Structure 1
Amino acid sequence: MSSASSPSSSSPSSSAAAPPSDVVARLRAAGCVFAEDEARLLVSAARTPDELAAMVGRRAGGLPLEHVLGWAEFHGLRVAVDPGVFVPRRRTEFLVDRAAALAPPRAVVVDLCCGTGALGAALAAALDGAELYAADIDPAAVRCARRNVPAGARVYEGDLYAPLPAALRGRVDILLANVPYVPTEEVGLLPPEARIHEARGALDGGADGLDVLRRVTAEAPGWLAPGGSLLVETSERQAAGAAETFAANGLVPRVCSSDELYATVVIGTVAYSG
């Protein structure tokens, strides 16, 4: 969660027509590493030259590309992203893939700290007949998520598990929790796109970055079904501490990583009794 995603996964192919050179030059001067790719996306999204100029101006001024476009590509979906809402990162697709591999048929899925709802929406799209619930404490994120989740899914506003229906206790097969995990002292080191334009609550994980993870893990066993799993994203250096927290709360932990996506996921599973 340390920076906004690049447009590489959603950009047109290199064979697409070159974008206007003045647009590319302005984006490059503003420090956009993927200036040509971003220019193509902005040109394709703008309906008029004036709208393009305004969009380029917002991007050059530091607004995340996804907030300028109003969407991000995530796990093959185009996900609506409203101003101020955390932008789903491409590396988090690894968490979705691990969850899909664990999910039983017609899984009950909960997406905590859901932000745009991208994780839950992507997992529901990958599964057959999933029952999806999501929650976030940020009203702006909840409004955004309600536009992204599939029909029949429910999105609740509140702190972690508090707004979820009590009937879900002991029924959840897959619990996704893309918790904030940046240590407080490191939030100021994040790229401006993240620290200025995304809610601090979606980034700041406390002194060691694991405060919210501990809260999620402490209550997870009461919500998970037998054999159910909690999946969280962390940094590589936090993974051991996260795994210890899982074990201390009765979950059987394992750490998975992807060198390609620079992603680390910790999975905690409820052991079957008897």
Structure 2
Amino acid sequence: MKLIRYGTPGAERPGLVDAQGVVRDLSMLLPDLGPAQLSPRTLAALAAIDAGRLPPVEGEPRLGCPVGGVGKIVCVGLNYADHAKEAGMPIPAEPVLFMKAITALSGPNDPVRIPPGAQKTDWEVELGVVIGTRASHVRKDTALQHVAGYVLANDVSERAYQSERGGQWDKGKSYDSFAPIGPWLVTSDELPDPHAINLWLEVNGQRMQDGNTRNFIFDVPTVLAYISQFMSLEPGDIVLTGTPAGVGLGQKPTPWFLKPGDVMRLGAAGLGEQTQICIAD
């Protein structure tokens, strides 16, 4: 299934996209698509519904983050060897973890807000993993059993805040609008292998990133099992799995960063596409 949340910010309604690409309303069946609705039992019940009997949504509504009530966003840095190389960082011996604030969440086509005075705002197309059941000290061989599905994400970053202002990476990753998610949540039954997904991103029509999750340094089961040693992953949590080479920081001979008016377009096989216009905040 392709599950969505649509409507104005803060008032999104649950829905799904049927096999013909028609947006269907689920609000008569569910209050939202949040942690309580991501259980295997609920997802199986939704999969059994005849989508053609659900009311279609008229027009082209705004899409929000397809997961409501997200508790935390856990991110893996430097998870592609080519990206670690372009960043001038060694390939990590263990997954590099950082967090993004949930206030960074936005819809897949909402504007990206460049902070006042920011000079190094950057892009990162990523595969996101949505947790469906609680994961604490899980094993690699059972880790995927805790996954409700997958999303497309843009891990927008302000590199000066991230690397030049001391402390941890989080403050360069968490500005409002720095976590566009969607357009939909693809349930894991529809995307059984998260390690064969093409990812790409364009800025102003120029292809900047073109990678594949087969090139992960740490695959999804490894990442989930590793994170669960240090914190419980709860239903509705999102894990961002890293980005391939091609970010603005890595451009040669001169890094290239986002400015107001720039347009990012990104996508992944099976996960849909996003488009964001950068604006000055």
The TM-score normalised by the length of structure 1 is 0.28
Instruction: Please say which structure displays the higher CA radius of gyration.
Output: 1
The TM-score normalised by the length of structure 2 is 0.28
Q: Which has the higher contact order (CA 8 A, sep 6+)?
A: 2
